[in-house]
Amino acid sequence: MKAKFEGKEIDIKKIGILTGGGDCAGHNAVMFGFLRQMNKANQSLPANDKMELWGLFEGWKSLTKDQDQVPVDQIMQQLHRADLEDSFKEAGTIIKSSRTNLFSKANLEKKLPELAMANMKKLGLDCLVVLGGDDTLGAAGKLGKQFTFPMFGAPKTMDNDVWGTERTYGFNSAIEESVHFLENITTTARSHNRCFVVELMGRHAGWVTLYAGIAAGAEVVILPEEVVNLDEVFGRVKKAMEAQKFCIVVVSEGTRLFDTKYPAELNKRHQELLDAVLADPKHALVKARHEMPKKKDSFGNEQLGGIGEYFYALLQKHLPEYEYRLQVCGHAIRGGNAHMEDRILGLRFGDAIFDFMKQGKFGVYPGLEADNIVPKNLLEVKGERFIPQDHQLYKMRNAIDFY
């Protein structure tokens, strides 16, 4: 197929597609949405102009391999309708993923962007479609600009925190799975007069925790966007336990006990409460976690997880009259089937990317605005689309406040 790129007409025949970062529901749907459009277009093209879609294994890592040492079939495979007509209904990604940062300081010194570009040329790719969050899409924008190469993106993340779109694919399925988990936990909490602390994924944007917590009727919902006050949390838990003998506390993994934006006296109070926990041999595991160095991924993001343990221990220590349990959903809410909205949104994004290509709109990713798909600049993509404090659901989040 011929298209306009940088003022010139180019032939697009061999299209690469990769998925980067964490897996989520909707990846396969985007690929299928694009493939459907491509196959339809091929029906009216001469044999020599027909297009092929090739899936690159393990995200950006595929383009950093030595092609003299690694066979091409271990780097990519051609995708056909049979590969995706059923798998688009599933979460995850059939072409695998990785967290590979081409533009980290170490990888810039190794000249990995140059290697990635050289490998794309060796593979005969005319265009690349990149599915991922803001880190993965940002790398696509940089690479496309640096080497004047046709690029597209698609915004995924269960966290729903990519700027330029009102919703990312992966979000709805994560909510649905989280609600199912919370409802099951509520059955046990009610049966045994317990308070459950449930930690949900959500880096620095608490959209999953907010939606799932409200939909499941959780008594206490704790978000990264709020100024956490432990005494207020204790008060809500006590109110719930006294009123109904059970309580569900949902906390997003990016929630912080301490922050420079918190008032100094609040940080001091939290330190006092935490010190009491750390001094108690009963909570040796929490102390060990607290003293561990914080790990970071290749993009410099701190690897989160564990805040649920802190809240569990703090409640046990400072509100000991109740029985507590801790549950961490972890990666489970990313898997299983892709729920309806993520299937549809993924298909729409893939469909729209092909339209952008036909129209010569390169260097963009599809964003959802008022149920319309619009092109967004890959060079402007960023994360940290936080919950505003004037959001209606933000004010509704703690169910116990209304009892």
- Domain assignment present for residue 44? The answer is yes
* pLDDT (0 to 100) of residue 265: 98
Return the CATH number at 70.
3.40.50.450
- Domain assignment present for residue 364? The answer is yes
- The token pair that represents 205 in the structure block: 């944007």
* pLDDT (0 to 100) of residue 189: 98
Q: Are residues 346 and 299 in the same domain?
A: no
- pLDDT (tens digit, 9 = 90+) per residue, 105-163? 999 999 999 999 999 999 999 999 999 999 999 999 999 999 999 999 999 999 999 99
- Domain assignment present for residue 399? The answer is no
* pLDDT (0 to 100) of residue 296: 67
Q: How buried is residue 282: exposed, middle or buried, by Cβ count under 10 Å (0-12/13-18/19+)?
A: exposed
Helix axes 134-147, 112-122, angle to 10 degrees: 70
Average pLDDT, the chain: 95
pLDDT score of 202 more than 90: no
C-alpha angle 300/364/16, rounded to 5°? 80
Q: Are residues 28 and 155 in the same domain?
A: yes
Q: Are residues 144 and 210 in the same domain?
A: no
Q: Are residues 237 and 270 in the same domain?
A: yes
Indicate the range of 194-198, 200-204, 207-211 predicted with least confidence: 200-204
pLDDT score of 366 more than 90: yes
* pLDDT (0 to 100) of residue 41: 97
* pLDDT (0 to 100) of residue 299: 62
Q: Are residues 181 and 162 in the same domain?
A: no
**If you average pLDDT over residues 35-44, what whole number do you get?**
97
Return the CATH number at 215.
3.40.50.460
Q: What torsion do the CA atoms of 332, 337, 342, 347 make, to the nearest 10 degrees? A: 140
**If you average pLDDT over residues 362-366, what whole number do you get?**
98
Alpha carbons within 13 angstroms on the beta-carbon side of residue 13 total 9
pLDDT score of 348 more than 90: yes
Beta strands in 46-162 (DSSP E): 52-56, 76-78, 127-132, 151-155
- Domain assignment present for residue 348? The answer is yes
* pLDDT (0 to 100) of residue 67: 85
- pLDDT (tens digit, 9 = 90+) per residue, 60-72? 999 999 888 999 9
- Domain assignment present for residue 132? The answer is yes
Which one of the listed residues 23, 159, 161, 342 is annotated catalytic? 159
* pLDDT (0 to 100) of residue 289: 83
Distance CA 308, CA 370 (A): 35
- The token pair that represents 280 in the structure block: 């108690």
Q: Are residues 328 and 195 in the same domain?
A: yes
Three-class secondary structure of residue 330 per DSSP: helix
Tally the domains of the chain: 2
Q: Are residues 144 and 270 in the same domain?
A: no
With CA atoms as reference, report the closest residue to 136 among 385, 386, 381, 384.
381
* pLDDT (0 to 100) of residue 298: 60
* pLDDT (0 to 100) of residue 383: 83
C-alpha angle 125/95/356, rounded to 5°? 50
Distance CA 76, CA 57 (A): 6
* pLDDT (0 to 100) of residue 290: 85
pLDDT score of 288 more than 90: no
Instruction: Please indicate whether residue 153 or residue 330 has the higher confidence score (pLDDT).
Output: 153
Q: Are residues 262 and 314 in the same domain?
A: yes
- String of DSSP letters for 146-210: HHT--EEEEEB-TT---TT-S--BTHHHHHHHHHHHHHHHHHHHHHHTEEEEEEE--SS--HHHH
Those residues with Cβ within 8 angstroms of residue 28's Cβ, 6 or more apart along the chain or in another chain = 84, 87, 88, 89, 90, 92, 93, 94, 338, 346
- Domain assignment present for residue 386? The answer is no
Those residues with Cβ within 8 angstroms of residue 268's Cβ, 6 or more apart along the chain or in another chain = none
- pLDDT (tens digit, 9 = 90+) per residue, 237-271? 999 999 999 999 999 999 999 999 999 999 999 99
- Domain assignment present for residue 392? The answer is no
Which domain does 57 fall in, by range?
Answer: 2-169+338-380
Q: Are residues 142 and 112 in the same domain?
A: yes
Q: Are residues 103 and 151 in the same domain?
A: yes
- Domain assignment present for residue 390? The answer is no
pLDDT > 70: what percent of the chain? Answer: 98
pLDDT score of 304 more than 90: no
Q: Are residues 87 and 179 in the same domain?
A: no
**If you average pLDDT over residues 265-281, what whole number do you get?**
97
Catalytic residue check, 159: yes
pLDDT score of 184 more than 70: yes
With CA atoms as reference, report the closest residue to 223 among 382, 387, 334, 383.
387
With CA atoms as reference, report the closest residue to 362 among 22, 10, 98, 58.
10
Q: Are residues 212 and 312 in the same domain?
A: yes
